[in-house]
Every structure is written in structure tokens, then in C-alpha cells.
Structure 1
Amino acid sequence: MNAGVNAGAYVVDARDGRIGRVTGFVGPCVQLRPPGGGREWDCPAEMLSPAPPGDVLRARVRAVNRDGRLP
């Protein structure tokens, strides 16, 4: 999957269903970050699939809503 994944693409980590944006590559792993920012995680390239646009939009809206809450 490494050859088909570009930095900035949104993908799904099949291990737990999280959506992440590709930020880099280290050995056999792809580095991902949640759509709204947050802690990066590594995922084996073979465990990734392209994220459906609707899922990406929902994840980004959740992040914006979470960040917009007042203390």
C-alpha cells in the first residue's frame, strides 16, 4: 500500500477503524495523525485502506466541534 499512499491522504487503520492523515513513512510503517490534529501513530502499510470521503468529513467536523467547545 505504500506505493499508493501519498503524504496528506486520508486512510483508515484497519486495526481499530481510526481515520488518519498520512504524515510520513518510517520503514514498513506509515505515520498517521487524526484529522483534527493530535498524537501521531504508526500503522503497518498493509493495514491501511483509503478513507471514504464521508468518513473523513465526519471526523473533521467532530474535531472542529470538539475544539470549539468553551471551557
Structure 2
Amino acid sequence: MTALPEIGTLMVDASRRDRVGEFRGVAGPYWSLRPVCGGQEWEAAPENVRPATPAERLSSGTARANARSRGEAL
């Protein structure tokens, strides 16, 4: 079994073209991820998810800051 990441950890879902999301918890056999810039959570199979690299975390942070400056992020 794959160890659970901490809530809020940035993860990459390879089954969704390397989409980055925050780990939100477990839903049955799936992990719930939430888009960094806000939006609807999605479920991913744990075997398709990996921790975000430092570059992916930086890119996600920049995207969130840009969205907030445009009034788009929650």
C-alpha cells in the first residue's frame, strides 16, 4: 500500500496529463485531489499519483498567484 501524503501536499496525476493538485484525502480506493487554482476536486488512482517536483511546485505556486491577481482563485 502507498503511504498517504499529508493533506495539502502537491501531487501530480499522471493519468490526467501530469495535472497538479493538492491532496485532500481518500475516497474509497481513490485519492482526492483539488486543483491548485481552485475548482472541482477529482479522484485519482494512487498508482497514478506522485509527489510534485520542486519545479512543479514552483510553477503551481506561480499559477495560483497569477490567478489570484486576476481574481480567479478562491
Using structure 1 for the length normalisation, give the TM-score. 0.82
Which residue of 1 is the match for residue 44 of structure 2? 43
Query: Are the aligned partners of 1:35 and 1:56 in contact in 2 as well (CA < 8 Å)?
Result: no
Residue 7 (1) aligns with residue 3 (2): no
Identity %: 36
Q: Which amino acid aligns with 1:7?
A: I
SS of the aligned residue for 1:67 comes to helix
* Structure 1 gap ranges (5+): none
Aligned length: 70
Q: Which runs of 4+ in 1 moved over 2 A?
A: none
Q: 1:4, CA displacement in angstroms?
A: 4.0
Q: 1:36, CA displacement in angstroms?
A: 2.3
* Structure 2 gap ranges (5+): none
